[in-house]
Amino acid sequence: MAKRIEAKNLNIYYSKFLAVSEVNFTIAPRSVTAFIGPSGCGKSTVLRTINRMHEVIAGAHVQGDVLLDGESIYGSAVDPVDVRRTIGMVFQRPNPFPTMSIYDNVVAGLKLQSGRIKKAELDDTVEKSLRGANLWEEVKDRLGKPGAGLSGGQQQRLCIARAIAVEPQVLLMDEPCSALDPISTLAIEDLIQSLKEKYTIVIVTHNMQQAARVSERTAFFNLAGVGRPGQLVEIDDTQKIFSNPSEQRTEDYISGRFG
Amino acid sequence: MTDQESRDRERARAMAEREATHASDTPDDYRGNADPNGVGVIPSSSALATPALADAPVSGSGVGAFGARGKVRIGDKVFRYLTAGAGMFVCILITLVAVFLLAKAIPSIANDKVNFFTSRAWQVSGSTLEFGIVDLLWTTVLSSVFAMLLAVPVAIGIALFITQYAPRQLARPVAFVVDLLAAIPSIVYGVFGITVFAPKLHGIIDFLNRYLGWIPLFKKQISDPGTVFAGGIILAIMILPIITAIAREVYERTPRENVEAAWALGATKWEMVRLSVLPYGKPGVISGAMLGLGRALGETIAITLILVAPPSGAPFSPSLFYGGETFASKIANAAAEFNNPTQTGAYIAAGLVLFVLTFAVNAAARIVVNRRREFS
Ligand SMILES: Nc1ncnc2c1ncn2[C@@H]1O[C@H](COP(=O)(O)OP(=O)(O)OP(=O)(O)O)[C@@H](O)[C@H]1O
Ligand SMILES: [Mg+2]
């Protein structure tokens, strides 16, 4: 069920401001791809075009195309709501619905998609998703308690459970560990390793160690220059990016000789 | 793993480590600069919290290092006394009003020949005082709650339209027009209500009476247009702006992350509103509704003009399609006859009940608002 993602000549705008220009890449199914690069170069922006979250910002729009297994997600007949149901997303700051219980948080997406579902079926999904997110043991006795009452790391895993409960084909993660302690970070990295058996995963991270640990492929983004739009400098095997990148700028960035 | 490979890995790790250290610098610095006590911001409206601020030790670990211990800045002092003074002034004022009401009301209540709370009588001009508030209480509460129930859904609808659906060019004028409703004087609402609006309600009243007349609330009692029904609708229009304004404000503040959480799950617009905006705004809307209710309870001139007072001795009717008098309209109707103190005292006693009622409703609204603060 995991799908291949292709970006074709993406130009991404906030109103008139061109934030990222001419991005092209292909991401294989069942793989983990890391987006790295300095702050403000457009990693989040590119990530959010993959599930059409970019356009929820007023004035934001996209030129070019993103293909999911060869099918355009920007076609005129495509409903962005369907795209987002196929491509899950986890944000930098954990964002469970504050007024909902843990249980309701997990099934929130499911209820949107399929309306009435049998209780037993929901129960199954909740357990499966929470197990999938490595959270089941910690919360199984308090599923009725508010999701906002969990620790930050638990909340983030709850958000992952919520995202995988609808069995998406792709999972996008925007710095999912940046607000977490090392132990929660490790838990989520392990989780990513097990999730890639089923999903295509793209993760934005500022932590190169993390990129090296979890991803097979790494994409390096950078600004084309001061006041110029961001661009994709190169995308390659993680091994190669960190040892012997083709571009001097990549080498400079990862060896800390940046700027 | 070949030699080359392991060397590469080593190198990657070293670099990544360096990066990680860099990354963690920023938050630490930030924390170091932050105000350790978190008292940097003094909420300007917290006159009542002044004692707490005064008690709080000004002993952040950094302060002593500047050798300025005990130095009191004159501006702080003046500001503190000013805010404390303003807060105290309001408290004293409220206490004085309460004392005034009690002092004037108690002698009359003591001379009341019937039960003040349960009697329907209102006979205060003769030598014996007989007055009770139950009819007034019913009409006041019925008209106000009816008004609130009408106004809240409409206010929520308008607020959602303005904050979520309307294009910007349309949102502004709509918000402006709703705000304008608050600028219409209540005497205008009253005149409009009784001369233009209320007479047009016959059709609706007959319709509701025909199908729901078996419920006492909807049983038609009088053919005069001056019903609680008409008064309640006018009240609803009058409290619409404040409820809309509060709802708009809270909806506008829905955190981006909640909204995006819903979008990212594949919510439609309405589902996003239901998952994020409405739950977030709920406490605010409740408190807005209560503020509106408080206003409706005390509304005087519009309701005095609209409601027709039933003849004395008429049987009680809980119906919306009946006239009546509220606390405020009762007092206003009698304002010309405040010449003897015991008679006046009866009206003041009614005013006292209204005061307590409004106070309770507003306090409840505050409590809801404050409870919200704990969550966020
Ligand atoms: N909502 C927005 N409106 C206008 N411009 C924006 C918006 N969000 C981001 N930008 C701009 O787009 C560019 C790319 O931002 P983006 O958030 O994608 O960077 P990033 O690589 O994710 O950075 P970081 O690592 O700090 O998260 C920046 O110049 C930024 O100022
Ligand atoms: Mg970002």
What is the DSSP secondary-structure string of B246-279? Answer: HHHHHHHT--HHHHHHHHHTT--HHHHIIIIIHH
Ligand 1 atom closest to the Cα of residue A46 is 18
Give ipTM to 2 decimals: 0.91
Chain A nearest-CA distance from B149, in A, is 24
Report the separation in Å between the CA atom of A41 and the middle of ligand 1, taken as the mean of its atom positions. Answer: 7
Chain B nearest-CA distance from A85, in A, is 5
Report the separation in Å between the CA atom of A62 and the middle of ligand 1, taken as the mean of its atom positions. Answer: 14
Q: Where are the domains of chain A?
A: 5-95+169-254
Tokens describing residue A158: 């709850």
Note whether residue B86 is domain-resident.
no
**Shortest CA distance from B269: residue in chain A:** A81
pLDDT in tens, chain A (259 residues): 678 999 999 999 999 999 999 999 999 999 999 999 999 999 999 999 999 999 999 899 999 999 999 999 999 999 999 999 999 999 999 999 988 999 999 999 988 877 788 889 999 999 999 998 889 999 999 999 988 889 888 999 999 999 999 989 999 999 998 877 888 888 889 889 988 888 999 999 999 999 999 999 999 999 988 889 999 999 999 999 999 999 999 999 988 865 4
Kindly report the protein residue whose alpha carbon is nearest to atom 6 of ligand 1. A14
Note whether residue B184 is domain-resident.
yes
Chain A nearest-CA distance from B4, in A, is 10
- Mutation target to probe the A interface, by most A beta carbons within 10 A, among B19, B21, B371, B373 is B19
A256 with B268: Cβ contact below 8 A: no
Could you give the CA distance from residue B152 to residue A134 in angstroms, rounded to a whole number? 43
Note whether residue B224 is domain-resident.
yes
Note every long-range contact of B306-311, with CB atoms under 8 Å and residues 24 or more positions apart, other chains counting. Answer: B306/B190, B306/B193, B306/B194, B306/B198, B306/B226, B306/B230, B306/B231, B306/B234, B307/B139, B307/B143, B307/B226, B307/B227, B307/B228, B307/B231, B308/B222, B308/B224, B308/B226, B308/B227, B309/B333, B310/B222
CATH number of residue B184's parent domain: 1.10.3720.10
Q: What is the mean pLDDT of each run of 10 residues along chain B (376 residues)?
A: 50 47 39 37 36 40 52 84 93 92 91 90 85 94 96 97 92 93 95 95 93 92 92 96 94 93 93 93 91 93 94 88 93 87 90 93 82 54
CA proximity to B193, closest of B203, B205, B185: B185
The Cα angle at residue A168 between residues B259 and A239, in degrees rounded to 5: 105
CA proximity to B341, closest of B133, B124, B130: B124
Chain B nearest-CA distance from A3, in A, is 18
How crowded is residue B139: how many other Cβ atoms within 10 Å of its Cβ? Answer: 25
Of the partner residues A84, A98, A100, the one whose CB lies closest to the CB of residue B264:
A84
Parallel, antiparallel, or unpaired for β A170-174 and A87-90?
Answer: parallel
Note whether residue B299 is domain-resident.
yes
Of the partner residues A98, A109, A206, the one whose CB lies closest to the CB of residue B375:
A98
* Residue-number span of the structural domain to which B321 is assigned: 135-375
CA proximity to B136, closest of B349, B363, B373, B367: B349
In the CATH scheme, what is the code of domain A5-95+169-254?
3.40.50.300
Global pTM value: 0.80
What length is written for chain B? 376
Ligand 1 atom closest to the Cα of residue A38 is 25
pLDDT in tens, A15-30: 999 999 999 999 999 9
A56 with B263: Cβ contact below 8 A: yes
Ligand 1 atom closest to the Cα of residue A41 is 21
Assess B1–A contact: CB distance below 8 Å, yes or no.
no
Task: Give the B window 273-292 contacts with A, CB below 8 Å.
Answer: 275-276, 279-280, 282
Domain count, chain B: 1
A243 with B19: Cβ contact below 8 A: no
Report the separation in Å between the CA atom of A44 and the middle of ligand 2, taken as the mean of its atom positions. Answer: 4
**Residue with structure tokens 């009401």?**
B101
Determine the pLDDT at residue B99.
93
Note every long-range contact of A53-60, with CB atoms under 8 Å and residues 24 or more positions apart, other chains counting. Answer: A53/A84, A53/A89, A53/B260, A53/B263, A53/B264, A54/A12, A55/A80, A56/B259, A56/B260, A56/B263, A57/A14, A59/A14, A59/A15, A60/A12, A60/A13, A60/A14, A60/A15
